[in-house]
Amino acid sequence: MSAPEVTAFYGNENFPLQVIRALRVFGHDVLTSLEAGNANRGVPDADVLTFARVQKRVLLTLNRHDFRLLHAASPEHEGIVACTEDKDFERQARSIDARVKAETPLAGKFITVYRPAR
């Protein structure tokens, strides 16, 4: 029996802490912008993506539009998971967990995780 897949994530400043906590419960390694010393500093999106790449982490963000553009301009990264806002934090974490397991390897990919339709 193999060990569960662990993904190293970097949570963008706008990413909900409740989802990050749930992803950790699922066994993922998640570094927040606050833990990295990058919170409340107005770090440009390109620098956020560079930080995630240098740290070899998949970026988690709610900023789909800007990071889709950055991905198109420079797809050399560990992966980007862009989500729609979902107040059901555990459901969102489960959706992210399932998508990254289905999409492995993640390097160079832009993955969108949408909130289920009402």
Average pLDDT, the chain: 93
pLDDT of residue 95: 96
Confirm if 82 and 63 have CB atoms less than 8 A apart: yes
Domain that holds residue 51: 8-113
pLDDT of residue 118: 65
pLDDT of residue 115: 87
Helix (H/G/I), strand (E/B), else coil: 91: helix
Q: What are the tens digits of pLDDT across the range 89-106?
A: 999 999 999 999 999 899
Residues of the chain falling short of pLDDT 50? 1-3
Q: Is 38 within the bounds of a domain?
A: yes
- What pTM was computed for the model? 0.93
Q: Is 106 within the bounds of a domain?
A: yes
Q: Is 118 within the bounds of a domain?
A: no
| 22-53 CB burial, b ≥16 within 10 A, e <16 | bbeebebebbbbeebebeeeebeeeebbebbb
pLDDT of residue 1: 42
